[in-house]
Amino acid sequence: MKRSLKKFLSLALTAAMIFTLAACGKTEEKPNNNTAEASDSILIGGIGPITGDAAMYGNSTMNGAKLAVDEINEAGGVLGKKLVLEVMDDKNDAVESTNAFNKLVENKIVSLVGAVTSKPSDAVALVAADTGIPMITPTGTAQSITTHGENIFRAPFIDPYQGEVMAVFAKDELKVQKVAVIRNNSSDYSDGLATAFVDKAKELGLEVVADESYGENDVDFKSQLTKIQNANPDVLFIPDYYQKVSLIAPQARQVGINVQLIGGDGWDGVIKSIKQDDLKAVEGAYFCNTFALDDPEEKVQNFIKKYTDTYNEAPQSFSALGYDSVYLTAEAIKNANSTDSKAIVEALKNISYDGVTGSFKFDENRNPIKSVFMTTIEGDQYKLYKKMVAE
């Protein structure tokens, strides 16, 4: 009896295993959900902070992306199909961002435009790399983002590139000898720019007289700024996003720092963010950017007009990068003549595209090779100073 029962259980277990393997086999034989071959539309995912402290960046980016989708569809779509952009809010949070990506994968996206800020973009890239789905972060600048996989691309230049460019600018254009830095040590973006700036400044023979730091939740910077003032620099580099710059710049002036202020592309938005009474604190400041409203290129001016007519406000660099990211995606799908992930990735690697933020080609790490738009602030306007590249 025991032997019969043992034999019966063994046979039952074997049958269950065969059934399970057969079921798994059926799942694997399903067509690639991301090809969208049988659909009359092509679904692209979008991820960014639509709400929260970085909402200005997320909305600006996705507004640019939506404008590109509308233009492409009006011109006939891609491969005879309409593009559809599904945007999800990550609230500038890495966990929210990865959850959003997983949901978009379930919805069968063929490509992703997102995320927007660096930490969520890095988190999504880590997950996206395993799926093979092509991802273009329109604005994530942390160097690590594209290292996670061959399918991860970016539209902006990387943090070290910005820091190096600003050090070269300080030496060659501003003709300074002593530089100071105040960095957000809770931000990969801020810390990355600051480190690259300091290293390049030293390489160029500049003296770094102060390198102060603060935390993400800090709002009073007078202690650090007073130390910087006592160090007597010729220029102060503030590599952070516009929210922090809107607080730091006025306090710098209050403690007596009257030297030139410079920064990275996170400054884009500071005019809108800073209190009007404090606007004079950033007058004449310079920051590197990927886009300029007064760029005379016809394509750029057409984009600015359409964006302004659609949203009743001028675009920011984030808007332009979102716009270019969708066009890059559409061009890659067209060149690949397919919505297959591998085909789109290969097309992106070999793409050559002229956008509103410059001409695009990707290097071996899938970072763009492009010029920097050096921007200055005059009153309540951003002005293109010059285009330049890092040495």
* List of residues 6+ apart from 336 with CB closer than 8 A: 343, 344, 346, 347
Confidence of residue 12 (pLDDT cuts 50, 70, 90): very low
Note the pLDDT tens digit of each residue in 198-215: 999 999 999 999 999 999
As a whole number, mean pLDDT of residues 106-134 equals 97
As a whole number, mean pLDDT of residues 313-338 equals 97
As a whole number, mean pLDDT of residues 23-29 equals 34
Whole-model pTM over 0.85: no
> Would the pLDDT of 18 be above 90?
no
pLDDT of residue 288: 95
As a whole number, mean pLDDT of residues 109-138 equals 97
pLDDT of residue 38: 57
d(C-alpha 280, C-alpha 240), whole Å: 19
CA distances from 117 to 34, 145, 331 (A): 25, 11, 24
Q: Considering only residues 271 and 33, tell me which one the structure prediction assigns the higher pLDDT.
A: 271
List the single range of 13-17, 42-46, 281-285 with lowest mean pLDDT. Answer: 13-17
d(C-alpha 146, C-alpha 153), whole Å: 6
d(C-alpha 237, C-alpha 216), whole Å: 17
Q: Considering only residues 65 and 20, tell me which one the structure prediction assigns the higher pLDDT.
A: 65
Three-class secondary structure of residue 74 per DSSP = helix
Residue type, 250: P
Region label for 303, one of left (φ > 0), alpha (ψ between -120 and 50) or beta (otherwise)? alpha
Note the pLDDT tens digit of each residue in 259-280: 999 999 999 999 999 999 999 9
d(C-alpha 52, C-alpha 50), whole Å: 7
Which domains, ranges and CATH numbers included, belong to the chain?
39-156+295-370 (3.40.50.2300), 158-288 (3.40.50.2300)
Peptide bond into 115 cis (omega under 30): yes
| Average of per-residue pLDDT values in the chain | 90
> Would the pLDDT of 9 be above 90?
no
d(C-alpha 43, C-alpha 20), whole Å: 32
Comparing CA positions, the residue from 105, 108, 100, 87 lying closest to residue 42 is 108
- Kindly give the residue spans of alpha helices, DSSP state H, lying in the chain: 2-28, 55-74, 94-106, 118-131, 159-172, 188-203, 222-231, 242-254, 270-273, 298-311, 317-336, 341-349
pLDDT of residue 13: 38
Q: What is the DSSP letter of 340?
A: -
Note the pLDDT tens digit of each residue in 352-364: 999 999 888 999 9
pLDDT of residue 32: 39
Report residue 342: phi and psi, to 5°. -60, -40
Note the pLDDT tens digit of each residue in 154-196: 999 898 999 999 999 999 999 999 999 999 999 989 999 999 9
In this structure, how many other beta carbons lie within 10 angstroms of the beta carbon of residue 315? 25
Report residue 116: phi and psi, to 5°. -100, -60
Note the pLDDT tens digit of each residue in 39-87: 899 999 999 999 998 999 999 999 999 999 999 999 999 999 999 999 9
pLDDT of residue 29: 31
d(C-alpha 192, C-alpha 207), whole Å: 19
pLDDT of residue 217: 95
d(C-alpha 290, C-alpha 377), whole Å: 15
Region label for 108, one of left (φ > 0), alpha (ψ between -120 and 50) or beta (otherwise)? left
pLDDT of residue 19: 35
